[in-house]
């Protein structure tokens, strides 16, 4: 299991985490900041220059999950993780990846008063001989107070157990967290994800359209980017029926007829993924009443919307967008396309 201590920069997460491992038997400190530091040596400077925060690197988010799983396999017990996560989609991706490995996460957020928080930031000294470096660190923390407050006023307030450590020492803060976990006040996060594949998979997606011929996309909680309703085909399950099942499970719509196949796309293996066949079906045009009846009954999806092809280009990852683009062409032509890595093959 993991106890994830969230909060603003300088809220006291790391100090509390160091005290917490003395209060919880068989626990180990795991700081994902170290993973971020390693990326400075692993990635080309050109790639690093493209982001202002290493959390924006998909590689960092994958490594945070993989490293946590490896540590638990190595040392067992409980991992105590002091790490600021202010973007809900990053929290969803990381916690979802951990859920896929059957690792439960107990989420805590430290909520000191802003006056006290600003005072702690002002006193930060991380570089003994580099006043400019200390000033950059302090300014970074100040700049992230507003995003922290926005998260706390939104998704973070309902997602994490709050501990007001305004007037608590790190040891007292750790004690409050330990008691809350021990007494069951900090429930395991309910985010879900299907187990990671161990080989090639067959997946079926269904395209659904509104009266303006916009396509319906859904926003998964467990991975970045938008997606089509659908999922992995179970052993012995007909692919089109799998797509119908996924539509019912994900958005609460029961399709009346078996959808027509639009394309087959072979996705090559790209570590850590194994690739496989991806099928897209035409689920038809929804009436206004059907569109109004779209629901999100499970915890796997955060939202849904109808979008144009142009809008989809900025929402879907590149490989999914290419799949959508060719599926729409197949729909226009009344044909079926065969793709390999997003490129049509076998056509005149």
Q: What is the pLDDT of residues 17-37, one digit of tens each?
A: 999 999 999 999 999 999 988
pLDDT of 175 above 60: yes
Average pLDDT for 159-186: 93
pLDDT of residue 102: 80
Give the pLDDT mean for 254-270. 93
User: pLDDT confidence of 92, banded at 50, 70, 90?
Assistant: confident
pLDDT (average), residues 313-328: 92
pLDDT digits (tens, 9 = 90+) for 93-121: 888 888 877 888 999 999 999 999 898 88
Q: Is 254 a residue whose pLDDT tops 80?
A: yes
For the segment 199-211, what is each residue's pLDDT rounded down to a tens digit? 888 999 999 999 9
In the prediction, which pLDDT does 160 show? 92
What's the mean pLDDT in 323-330?
A: 96
pLDDT at 332 (0 to 100)? 95
- 300 or 108: which leads in pLDDT: 108
> What does the alpha-carbon distance between residue 303 and residue 315 come to, in Å, rounded to a whole number?
13
ω into 238 cis (within 30 of 0): no
Annotate the chain with three-state secondary structure: CEEEEEECCCCCHHHHHHHHHHHCCCEEECCCHHHHHHHHHHCCHHHHCCCCCHHHCHHHHHHHHHHHHHHHHHHCCEEEEECCCCCHHHHHHHHHHHHHCCCCEEEEEECCCHHHHHHHHHCCCCCCCCHHHHHHHHHHHHHCHHHHHHHHHCHHHHHCEEECCCCCCHHHHHHHHHHHHHCCCCCECCCCCCCCCCCCEEEEEEEEECCCCCEEEEEECCCCCCECCEEECCCCCCHHHHHHHHHHHHHCCCCCCCCEEEEEEEECCCCCCCCEEEEEEEEEECCHHHHHCCCCCCCCEEEEEEECHHHHHCCCCHHHHHHHHHHHHHHHHCCCEEEECCEECCCC
Residue 258 predicted with pLDDT over 90:
yes
What average pLDDT score do residues 251-279 get? 90
144-162 mean pLDDT: 90
> What is the band of 125 on the pLDDT scale with cuts at 50, 70, 90?
confident
pLDDT at 8 over 80: yes
Q: What is the structure's pLDDT at 229?
A: 92
Q: What is the pLDDT of residue 126?
A: 65
């Amino acid at each position: 299991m993991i106890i994830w201590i969230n909060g603003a920069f300088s809220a006291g997460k790391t100090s509390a985490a160091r005290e917490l491992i003395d209060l919880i038997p068989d626990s180990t400190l795991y700081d994902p900041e170290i993973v971020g530091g390693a990326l400075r040596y692993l990635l080309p400077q050109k790639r690093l220059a493209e982001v202002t925060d290493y959390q924006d690197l998909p590689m960092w988010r994958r490594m945070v999950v993989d490293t946590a799983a490896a540590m638990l396999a190595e040392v067992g017990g409980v991992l105590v993780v002091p790490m600021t996560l202010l973007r809900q989609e990053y929290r969803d991706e990381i916690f979802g990846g951990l859920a896929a490995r059957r690792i439960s996460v107990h989420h805590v957020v430290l909520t000191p008063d802003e006056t006290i928080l600003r005072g702690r930031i002002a006193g930060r000294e991380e570089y003994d001989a580099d006043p400019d470096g200390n000033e950059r660190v302090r300014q970074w923390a100040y700049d992230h107070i507003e995003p922290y407050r926005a998260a706390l006023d939104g998704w973070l307030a309902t997602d994490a157990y709050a501990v007001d450590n305004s007037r608590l020492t790190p040891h007292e803060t750790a004690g409050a967290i330990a008691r809350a976990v021990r007494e069951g006040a900090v429930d395991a996060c309910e985010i879900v994800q299907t187990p990671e594949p161990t080989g090639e998979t067959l997946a079926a997606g269904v395209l659904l359209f509104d009266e303006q011929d916009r396509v319906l996309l859904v926003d998964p909680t467990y991975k970045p980017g938008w997606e089509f309703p659908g999922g992995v085909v179970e052993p012995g399950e007909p692919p089109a029926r799998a797509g119908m099942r996924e539509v019912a499970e994900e958005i609460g719509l029961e399709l009346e007829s078996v959808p027509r196949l639009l394309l087959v796309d072979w996705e090559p293996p790209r570590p850590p993924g194994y690739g496989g066949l991806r099928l897209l079906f035409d689920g038809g045009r929804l009436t206004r009443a059907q569109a109004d009846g779209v629901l999100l009954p499970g915890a796997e999806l955060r939202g849904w919307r109808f979008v144009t092809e142009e809008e989809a280009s900025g929402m879907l990852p590149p490989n999914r967008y290419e799949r959508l683009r060719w599926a729409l062409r197949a729909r226009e032509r009344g044909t079926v396309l065969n793709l390999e890595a997003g490129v049509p093959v076998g056509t005149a």
